[in-house]
Amino acid sequence: MLKHLYIRNFAIIDELDLELNAGMTALTGETGAGKSILLGALNLVLGDRADNDSIKQDRDFAEIVAEFDIDQLEEVSSWLVAQELNTDDECILRRRIAKDGRSRAYVNGTPVNLQIIRELAEMLIDIHGQHEHQSIMKSSVQRQLLDDYANHRPLLEAVSNLYVELKLVEDQLQRLQQSSDEQNDRLDLLRFQTRELDALALEENEYQALDVQHKRMANAEKINSSVAQAIHLLSEDENSNTQSSLSQIINSLADITDIDESLLPVSELLQEALIQIDESVSLLQNYRDNIDIDPAQLAKIEQRIQDILDLARKHRVEAEELLSLHLSLQKELDDIDHVDERLVELSEEQKQLEEKYLKACSKLSLSRNKAISKLNKNITQSMQTLGMTGGKFEITIETQADKRSASGTDQIEFTVTANAGQSCKPLARVASGGELARISLAIQMIIANNSKIPSLIFDEVDSGVGGGIAEIVGQHLRVLGSASKAKANQVICITHLPQVAAQAHHHLRVEKQSDGKQTRSQVVTLNDEQRQQEIARMLSGVEITEQSLAHAGEMIERAKEI
């Protein structure tokens, strides 16, 4: 449930700190007061694309923070744990956008990308827009609404994964079934290239090892001279060498450590240094004895390196990548050489995946048919209360095995009749604008009632309705937002209808203020008296009369009986 919303420097909002509750909350205000701005800020923190034009004028950044109570949302808690983003029973989303276009998103204080935010938002809140009745005519939207209602996500994921696998195998088959002329031309080139690389017989990490060996041999005289000088200075110089000098110092200190024991640590360190020097001299002598100054071997290594570089240049790769290229070309050659065998393997794999895909589609289709029966009944009943007495709603489903997609093989279509005795026809062909809005609202409320998401926002979905029907819409939303012991439901309804606002458990009013230089928007939580005033304003307009106040009070009291 959305508990808290904080907005700063967004559009015409300086700073807004809003506490929200379970139940139905009405959000009202005059046209242009900023209701849509509030929703825009919420959409931004839920992962919408950032636009620095939405930052308040003369400010460097905008910030939105949304805090959710996830105590009853086990799926969200598990998801956060899996993403290493969990923080007890709260989930805090934060979005910050700057004038320079940079945008940052955080979950529980941890920076995340927008895809993470969007995936999480789908489990936290569901927003139903006022224009959904326009998109509901699309077949893809109708299919999605049905699947959302039936909670088909696991079935859809199974179908989608198999569809992707099947397409990959079919693409491989198509590539292998190219014309024989193309295959033969490619085969000749691959055989020539692999013969060259076979002849080179490059071993793993050989080039790197040759490079190291070449540097050592090419600089053998310089290395030998430096090593010899080091050995001379450390141990072989008859007049003065490090070993003998250090030994003399150690012997000299040994005579006085009996007098002052504080010099013992110094003496011990020098003894260790002498041991290290002795070992260094031994290693240097061994290295000197093994320095290779063989011109013939050096020439052989240089020729090998040149052969590798020439072939790498020919294939336009780095020398280090030549072995990997050889293996890749060899695999492609083997695939073409054994194309018939591979075609048989892929054909069998395609057949098995096709069977699995169709089986998963059949399972999804069966579940859809079961859900359709219940959904048809519920939406038809809801239509009766929304001024379409005798109306009927039916979802048709046609399975077409040859029309495959990531969402299955079913063609879903919403059909309706607004009048008794008439057959149902496709939604787009028979519903008027007002009827379409009411049917869309009926569908949204039924689907929302079946949702596991506790927070639902309805953005003026009551457009196109009024009078007694508007009151019924409000009653539906009030029931939808009624909290229970098992689940804390939350409905936030942006509305311009007093009949809907009167049904709310809580009431917020958006106000716009201007001092002639700047315009600001704020949200006020209304008490009982202020609420009655607001609904009276919605009923009568600018002038609030005693009659409109009495009517508003009556509407509020009547709502409490539900």
What is the reported pLDDT for 433?
A: 64
Global pTM value = 0.62
Q: Which two tokens stand for residue 175?
A: 């590539």
pLDDT score for 375: 93
Indicate whether 191 and 333 sit together in one domain. yes
- C-alpha distances out from residue 207 to 218, 285, 304, Å: 16, 29, 9
The two tokens of residue 238 are 């008859």
pLDDT, one tens digit per residue, over 354-376 is 999 999 999 999 999 999 999 99
190 and 91 within one domain: no
Please state the separation of Cα 205 from the chain's center in Å: 39
Could you give the number of structural domains in the chain?
2
- Domain final residue, candidates 279, 310, 337: 337
The Cβ-side half-sphere exposure at 275, using a 13 Å CA radius, reads 6
State the sign of the Cα–Cα–Cα–Cα dihedral 99, 105, 108, 111.
Answer: negative
Tell whether 40 is covered by a domain: yes
Residue keyed to tokens 């326009």: 134
Are residue 197 and residue 302 in the same domain, yes or no? yes
In a domain, 217, yes or no: yes
Query: Among candidates 446, 518, 514, 506, which has minimal Cα distance to 476?
Result: 446
In a domain, 410, yes or no: no
Show which of 337, 371, 399 is a domain's final residue: 337
* Same domain, residue pair 300 and 190: yes
- Chain CA centroid to CA 437, Å: 32
Instruction: Choose from 233-237, 334-338, 552-556 the range with maximum mean pLDDT.
Output: 552-556
Question: Token match 């609030």: residue?
Answer: 544
Q: How far apart are CA 2 and CA 504, in angstroms?
A: 17
Q: What is the CATH number of the domain that holds 111?
A: 3.40.50.300
3-class secondary structure per residue, 69-100: ECCCCHHHHHHHHHCCCCCCCEEEEEEEEECC
Q: What is d(CA 394, CA 377) in angstroms, rounded to the nearest whole number?
A: 8
Quick check: helix, strand or coil at residue 441?
A: helix
Mean of the per-residue pLDDT values of the chain: 86
Query: Which has more confidence, 331 or 128?
Result: 331
* pLDDT on residue 74: 83
What distances in angstroms separate CA 418 from CA 284, 386, 389, 434, one per listed residue?
A: 99, 11, 8, 11
Where does a domain end: 337, 356, 372? 337
CA-based end-to-end distance of the chain = 23
313 is a domain residue:
yes
Phi-psi category of residue 32: left, alpha or beta, with phi > 0 → left and psi -120 to 50 → alpha: left
Average pLDDT over residues 528-535: 93
Q: Are residues 110 and 209 in the same domain?
A: no
Looking at per-residue confidence, does 185 or 66 come out higher? 66
Say if residue 194 is in the same domain as residue 97.
no
Q: How confident is the model at residue 487 (pLDDT cuts 50, 70, 90)?
A: low
Tell me if 51 is assigned to some domain.
yes
pLDDT at 191 over 90: no
**Do 478 and 146 meet the contact criterion of CB atoms below 8 Å apart?**
no
Residue 242, domain extent: 184-337
Same-domain pairing of 53 and 193: no
* 85 and 218 part of one domain: no
Residues 121 and 207 placed together within one structural domain of the fold: no
Distances (CA, A) of 482 to 52, 177, 225, 383, 504: 38, 62, 91, 21, 10
- Do 98 and 202 have their domain in common? no
Tell me which residue of 108, 102, 118, 7 sits closest to 63, measured CA to CA.
Answer: 7
* 109 and 206 housed in the same domain: no
In a domain, 263, yes or no: yes
CA separation for the pair 59, 12 (Å, rounded):
11
Q: In terms of Cα–Cα distance, which of 162, 161, 159, 177 is closest to 347?
A: 177
Rounded Cα distance between 234 and 232, Å, is 6
Q: Please state, in angstroms and rounded to a whole number, the distance separating the CA atoms of residues 34 and 27.
A: 11
Phi first, then psi, for residue 362 (nearest 5°) are -65, -40
**Residue type at position 84:** E
Domain annotation covers residue 206:
yes
97 and 4 fall within a common domain: yes
How far apart are the C-alpha atoms of 374 and 499, rounded to whole Å? 29
Any idea what the Cα angle at residue 354 is, between residues 348 and 359, rounded to 5°? 135
Residue 134 lies in a domain: no
Give the range among 183-187, 258-262, 394-398 with minimum mean pLDDT. 183-187
Strand 61-69: give its sheet, edge to edge. Answer: 13-19, 2-10, 61-69, 90-98, 103-107, 110-112
Model confidence over 285-312: pLDDT tens digits?
888 877 767 788 888 888 988 989 999 9
pLDDT tens readout for residues 70-129: 888 888 888 898 888 877 778 999 999 998 888 999 999 999 999 999 989 888 888 877
**CB–CB of 446/439 below 8 Å?**
no
